[in-house]
Amino acid sequence: MNVSLNWLSSYIDLEGLGTQEMADMLTFAGIEVEGIQERGVTTDLVVVAQVMEKTPVEGSDHLNVCMVDAGEGSLRQIVCGAQNYKVGDKVPCALPGAVLPGGWEIKDGKLRGVESRGMLCSASELGLPDKEHGLWILPQDYAVGTPVRSFVPTDTIFELEITPNRPDLLSHWGMARELAGITGRNLKQDPAEQPTAAIQTCPAGDYITLSAPEICPFYTATRISGVKIGPSPAWLADRLVSIGLRPINNVVDITNYCLFELGHPLHAFDAAKLTGGLNIRRAAEGESFTSLMNEQYSLTPEDIVISDASGAALALGGVMGGLDSGVTESTTDIVLESAWFLRSNIRFTSRRLALGSDSSYRFERGTSPWNVLRAAARAIELILECAGGTAEPVMVGGQAPCLVPEENATNATVLEQGTEGKIYYALDQVQLDWKELDVMTNASIPHLEAARILRRLGLREIDGKGTWDCPPWRLDLKRSCDLLEEVVRVYGIDNIPATNTSIYVEESAYDRASDYRMALSRKLAGAGFWEAQTFKLIAAESIDPTIASVEHALPIKPLMEGDIIRVSLPISEDHSTLRPSLAPGLISVAARNINQGLEVLRFFECGRVFRNTGGGKGKDIENEVLGIFMAGKLNPASWADTRPGEAHFEHLRAVLDILVPKAEITLNPSKQARKTAAVGADILINNQACGYVARIALASCRALGLPMESYYAELDLRKLQQVATAPFKAAELPQFPGSDRDASLDVPADTRNADIVKAIQAAKQKLLVSCRLKDVFCDPSGEKLAADRKAMTYTFLYRDAKKTLTAPEVDAAHKQVLDTLAAKVKNLKFR
């Protein structure tokens, strides 16, 4: 909301407060200052000048060199780029030395080599709303040399962001009241007080029918006849312009003015366009409404409309007037509406129709019923003053809703408004617990001071026992903690000493999970992997292969129908689905980076994946997993290594090995296909299913521009943590040396390493400490080895914990292992 300092100053004396001081004060009252605009000129160096000559600057299509009379006795040469003036016009002229809004200092200078000694100004250059495109053409009766500041008042406009709990601040009077509370300065005359006291009211009888009292229980209408529609007086138009509104006509301007003065929206109908009385009713399903902006809307029964005896919807209650019922230049009689609407309905209507107004903005944040008659009275006063006519008594339909909880209502202080058909307004009572204040502030705020703050904010203690009447404009004050907040806010948190209490807190499982995740991440970073953090919302499918989509999921367990969790109303299809795997994100990261020429593609991510159990009707499951992507070169090329090797599966396997170095990792070819996997295997760690590893489908690699050998592994982080952080005791070092024996096995080419390892384990040789695959040899030419065979050389280490083995003992053990191998592995020969 824009707040004009001049306007504000008519309600509170702000003398001596600097702009910044005022901004700080608002900030520390909880009102965000989003911007400050200084309007108008404060210098005498901007004066009225008359253009006496105007000749085009050579070589420029828009510059003119002007000789102007600035009242200095001689003409002044100024180059000007504007197009909207002619010789003889009077315009503002900034003389050298003038500082314009925004800190712009005018100096003598040259434009296109032509001397220019000052600047002819537009309104916006003087910090004023622009009225025309180009220079500000002044009335001819202004004398040259007159400082512009003598007829243009300066103003400061604060752009304020009001938090949703404080609708009472959405007006100049409301803001003045708040500043009075904060600063202790005195308020001037309440602009609505006298008109309200003088106003005549009467029951509306059957003129107002409240057909939906649950939404609109309280509606007033005032007939004013014989008004003369015309432009608003300058003071009123200027105020509206200063906060960014466009003046329309006196009556409409006054309703807007009252909204920004008192915070309560009003609406004026042209009485000639109404038939009979007003009916405030829910809209019919599909009912059509044309707004005063000439936009058509289709309504629902959640919307409230003002209609008349003809049944037509004349206005969308609380939101906007209709096209045909508003005030125009030919209007002579008006009906002025001031009413109260339930905030949730106005919000619903405004959001559903994407139709917001200054009026709906206030109603949906909550308006005070107490303000209904005040705003009406103030508007009537101004209309009679500015547009003439005579007002009938305010017709009161329904009654101000009681917003006080039932249990408090009986004891409530009740305010009264009006003469006949009176309006009653019950004040909320809040019991303030001083002990709570002491606990919250470490007793640093004296109770007397707290009470003074509350009184300044308009509260009244009614019984000396901590029962306070809340002012009728503060609908947000309902409980003790609301009052404490006011005290702390106004007293200032700066004045409350900081303390620091710490208690013993046991380390949680989440602490350990976080520690593990960081240790794991650092290990992977050290192994040359970049940690990525990809977006959790991905596409269900996408024609652009570089967009992360569910199609690229390589989850630990394959996806079933209905596993995918999709948001109901995505912003875009690319971010519509919760990722079931980290693979789509990491694959898209790899694709992005390979496009940047990166050759070593190693990425990992730790994060949540999501899926539903049971076809979308089961539980939503969130799991923490680790995803690892690996492809491309093993290291970047350099002069020392001009042709680095390519990453193959064994390199990814090496990474798995360093994650859980002490555990046994088994990979079992997976029987369940995933779309983006060329081949895949389940990862078992110590025989527990723990992850999935895949070579990415070659078609996907081609589509994404990835290396044909791209690998991905996804592992369950919690299971990894269990294995990797299991407690252990350090082993003693062996006391006696061991002995190596090599064996080279000649086996069919399709023999798997696991078959051989299994056979070796079957030997149950106690002296065998370890065996290691040392070499694999194939010869497709068939010269050194048949093409359908391969030679696998293993090194076996034998050791006895209690003695040094003799050669015959080692040989005997080795023979037993080899015999078992020969018996268990089909078609095996020793080389």
Partner 1 sequence: MKERIESVQAEALERIAGIADMKALEDARVGILGKKGSLTQVQQGMRDVPKEEKPAVGALLNEARAAITAALENRRNELQQQLDAAAVAGVDFTMPGATLPTGGLHPISIVRDEAVRILRRMGFTLSDGPEIEDEWHCFDALNTPDDHPARNEKDTFYFDSGKLLRTQTSTVQARTMEKQAPPVRIICPGSAFRRDAIDATHLSAFNQIEGLYVDKNVSVGDLKGTLEYMLKALFGSDTAVRFRPHFFPFTEPSFEIDVLLQAAGQAPRWIEIAGCGMVNPAVFEAIDRETGKQLYSGCTGFAFGIGLERLAMIRWGIRDIRLLIENDVRFLAQFQ
Tell me how crowded residue 459 is: count the other CB atoms within 10 A of its CB: 23
As measured in angstroms, the least distance from the Cβ of 212 to partner 1 is 17
- Under rule CB under 8 A, how many of the chain's residues touch partner 1? 94
237 versus 655: smaller Cβ distance to partner 1: 655
Instruction: Find the part of the chain contacting partner 1 (CB under 8 A) among 42-50, 389-397, 487-495, 821-829.
Output: 487-495
What distance in Å separates the CA atoms of residue 215 and residue 280, rounded to the nearest whole number? 9
393 versus 562: smaller Cβ distance to partner 1: 562
Interactions with partner 1, residue window 156-185 (CB under 8 A): 163-166
CB 154 within 8 A of CB 41: yes
Hunting for tokens 């519509």 — which residue is that?
Answer: 576
What distance in Å separates the CA atoms of residue 1 and residue 10, rounded to the nearest whole number? 18
As measured in angstroms, the least distance from the Cβ of 101 to partner 1 is 19
293 versus 519: smaller Cβ distance to partner 1: 519
What is the Cα gyration radius of the chain?
A: 41
Q: Does 608 bind partner 1 (CB under 8 A)?
A: yes
Long-range contacts of 184-187 (CB under 8 A, 24+ apart): 184/456, 185/12, 185/13, 185/14, 186/12, 186/13, 187/11, 187/12
Q: Does 613 bind partner 1 (CB under 8 A)?
A: no
CB 22 within 8 A of CB 14: yes
- For the record, the structure tokens of 165 come out as 């709990």
As measured in angstroms, the least distance from the Cβ of 91 to partner 1 is 35
Among 202, 409, 496, 778, which residue sits at the site for partner 1 (rule: CB under 8 A)? 496
352 versus 460: smaller Cβ distance to partner 1: 352
166 versus 378: smaller Cβ distance to partner 1: 166
617 versus 784: smaller Cβ distance to partner 1: 617
Interactions with partner 1, residue window 534-593 (CB under 8 A): 534-537, 565-571, 575, 578, 589, 592-593
104 versus 535: smaller Cβ distance to partner 1: 535
Q: Does 531 bind partner 1 (CB under 8 A)?
A: yes
What distance in Å separates the CA atoms of residue 247 and residue 252, rounded to the nearest whole number? 8
As measured in angstroms, the least distance from the Cβ of 610 to partner 1 is 7
CA 642 to chain centre: 49
CA 38 to chain centre: 29
Q: Does 636 bind partner 1 (CB under 8 A)?
A: yes
As measured in angstroms, the least distance from the Cβ of 181 to partner 1 is 13
Q: Is 131 helix (H, G, I), strand (E, B) or coil?
A: coil
Q: Does 524 bind partner 1 (CB under 8 A)?
A: yes
Secondary structure element (H or E) that encloses residue 391, with its range? strand 390-391
Among 11, 603, 692, 711, which residue sits at the site for partner 1 (rule: CB under 8 A)? 603
User: β-strand 600-612 against 530-531: which pairing, if any?
Assistant: parallel
Interactions with partner 1, residue window 350-369 (CB under 8 A): 351
- For the record, the structure tokens of 496 come out as 């409350």
What b/e readout covers 523-554, taking b as 16+ CB neighbours within 10 angstroms?
Answer: ebeeeebbebebebbbbeebeebbbbbbbbbb
What b/e readout covers 176-185, taking b as 16+ CB neighbours within 10 angstroms?
Answer: bbbbbbbbeb
As measured in angstroms, the least distance from the Cβ of 496 to partner 1 is 5
Q: Does 641 bind partner 1 (CB under 8 A)?
A: yes
Interactions with partner 1, residue window 24-63 (CB under 8 A): 27-30, 32
Tell me how crowded residue 602 is: count the other CB atoms within 10 A of its CB: 24
Among 206, 506, 750, 783, which residue sits at the site for partner 1 (rule: CB under 8 A)? 506
Interactions with partner 1, residue window 439-478 (CB under 8 A): 439-442, 444
Among 493, 703, 787, 822, which residue sits at the site for partner 1 (rule: CB under 8 A)? 493
Site string for partner 1, 310-349 (x = CB under 8 A): ---------------------------------xx--xx-
Q: How far is CA 460 from CA 367, 403, 413, 491, in A?
A: 21, 18, 11, 18
As measured in angstroms, the least distance from the Cβ of 28 to partner 1 is 6
